Structure formats: structure tokens, C-alpha cells
Amino acid sequence: MNSKLIFKRMLHSKFFMIGFITCMLIVIFAVVGPSFVVYDAEKNSLTEQFLKPEWLSNGWQGHILGTDELGRDEFTRLVVGARYSLAIALVVTVCSAVLGTILGMIAGYLGGAADAIIMRMCDVFLSIPNLILSIAIIAVLGTSTTNLIIVLIISSWVQYCKLSRNNVLVTKKMEFVSASKCLGATNSHIIFKEIFPNITTQLIILVSQQFGNVILVEAALSFMNLGISPPTPSWGNMIAGGRTYLTTYPWLCVVPGMALMITVLAFNFLGDGVRDVLDPKRT
């Protein structure tokens, strides 16, 4: 597809534009925000517990979204937590996409025993829901950000594997692949240079749709104290912290949850938009 056409479609797709602009704002907020915040996200200040949100009545210097049970500024924690949530989601999405795609392409291209083994592995991982698997592995390995990332990768590569395998099965029967084989191309050349470019569209769509999912699973794990551990802020553990004060100081739960919802919503919009733009037949 030529880039001019794609660009035109991007401008015309409401989903894509809304999703893209919101995602960009959130990413900028997460990347640049932490260098501008006034307070320390992890330092307790027991004289300032449970302050109500001041919004912008004191400008950017005030406790815009109030403070939590340890007197930490909620807005600061939200900004710093955004950086963690997005960075983890990015690493996990990229790694699981790479891992899943490579395995899927090998399975689809080689067929036979390799295909059977990899596909049975997919079946195994599909029969264990990712949250349960993540909980079990973290329970054993212990809580740390590295373990969290490993677990999220382990539980999300399958989708990419299945997608790329199915696409490879279709693509490898095409004439240009046979032509390449006749010319003496090696397997790795055919897989990566000939077949891979043909499945990128589907992969980009899946990546943009999975990103939001990873954020949600990460938040669920952090909520159960199996993800990012306090005092380091993450949206999941902020919600967990606010749970105790749900009825008395509801903003402690509502604010990070709202941020989570808007972010995931934005990425889901982007995912749908990317699909509309790259694959108009499917809508």
C-alpha cells in the first residue's frame, strides 16, 4: 500500500485520529511529566495525609489531585506511575510480539514436527488463563519488575504465534516464495525477507490491540501486590492502596482507575483505527 493512501485514510478515520492524539498526549505526559513534578512520588509527608483535590486553585504547585494515606501527592504518583505502566507495556508488547512471531513463522514455514511441538505449546498456554499463570509464576519466583515483565511476556506471546503461523501458511504457497526457493534462497532468507514483510500489517494491528490488554493485566497484578511493589507508584498499586479508604477518600481509587481507563480506551481506539486504516476489508 502506498503511504499517501494510508495517510489519507488515517485522517479520515475518526477512531484512529481520536486514539492517536490521546495516546500521544498520554505518552508525552508519561515521558516528560516526571521531570516537571514538584513533589516526590515516594517520600512520605505525614502532616499532609488525605488532602482533598485542590484542582488548579493553587496552580501547578498545589496538590492538584489531593494526597494519599502517607501524604504523597496523588498527581505526582499518577505521572510517575504512568511512566512505569507504559514502559512495561511497551517492553512486554515488543518482546512477546518478536518471540511469538519468530516461533509462529518457524512453525508455519517448517511444518511437521516443529509445527506440532510449537502448536501444542500454544494449546497448553491457551488452556491456562494468563492471569492464573502469571500469579502462579510470580508466587514462586517472587515479586520484582523483571519477573513481572517475564511473566507478562510468557502469557502473551501465543496470540502472535498463532497469527503469524496462519499467515505464513497462506503466504508460503504463493509463487514468489517458490521462485525464491528455485533461485536457491536459504530458509532464513525466505522466512525473514520474503514472508515476513507480508504479515507485518496483521502484526501491527494485533500489537496495537494487545497494548491495552497488557496494561490491564499489569494493573491487576500490581493490585494484588504481585507486580510493581510499593513505594514505587503504579496505577494498579495506587488503586490497591486506595481500596482501604474507598468510602472515606474515594478519589484515591477513582483517579488512578480513571487514568487507567482513559489510557486503555485510547489504545483500543488506536487499535481499531489502525485496523480500519490498514485493513479496510475487515470492518
Partner 1 sequence: MLFRFIMRRLGQTVIVLFCVSIIAFALVRIAPSSPARMMLPDTATDEQVAAMEVKLGLDKPLYVQYYKYISGIFHGDLGTSTQYKTDVSGIIANRLPATLELNAVAILFALVIGIPMGIVAGSKPGSVTDFFAVLFALIGQSMSPVWLALLNILIFSSWLDLLPSYGYGPLVCIILPAMTHGYPVAAQITRMGRSGMMDVLREDYITATLAKGISKRKVYTKYAFKNALIPIVTMVGLQLGIFMAGAVVVETVFSWPGLGQLNFQAVGNRDYALVQSTLLVTAAIIAVINLLVDIINSLIDPRITLE
Contact residues for partner 1 (CB under 8 A)? 120-121, 123-124, 127-129, 131-133, 135-142, 212, 216, 219-220, 223-226, 236, 239-240, 242-243, 246-247, 250, 253-254, 256-257, 260-261, 264-265, 268-269
Instruction: Rank residues 67 and 222 by Cβ distance to partner 1 and give the closer one.
Output: 222
User: With respect to partner 1, which residue has the nearer C-beta, 108 or 212?
Assistant: 212
Q: Residues, the chain, total?
A: 283
Cell of 262: 482513559
Task: For residue 38, count other CB atoms closer than 10 A to its CB.
Answer: 12
In angstroms, give the least distance from the CB of 33 to partner 1. Answer: 21
Q: How far is the CB of 207 from partner 1 (least distance, A)?
A: 17
Instruction: State how far the Cα of 168 lies from the Cα of 224, in Å rounded to an integer.
Output: 39
197 CB burial (10 A radius; 0-12, 13-18, 19+):
exposed
CB of 2 to partner 1, least distance (A): 29
Residue closer to partner 1 by CB (options 51, 238) is 238
**Min CB(186)–partner 1 separation in Å:** 32
Q: Which is nearer to partner 1, 75 or 269 (CB)?
A: 269
Q: Which residue has the cell 479508604?
A: 245
Cβ(88)–Cβ(145) below 8 Å: yes
The CA distance from 209 to 203, in Å, is: 10
Q: In the bound complex, what is the minimum distance in angstroms from residue 147's beta carbon to partner 1?
A: 11
Q: What is the DSSP string of 130-179?
A: HHHHHHHHHHHH-S-HHHHHHHHHHHHSHHHHHHHHHHHHHHTTSHHHHH
**Between residues 191 and 270, which has the closer beta carbon with respect to partner 1?**
270
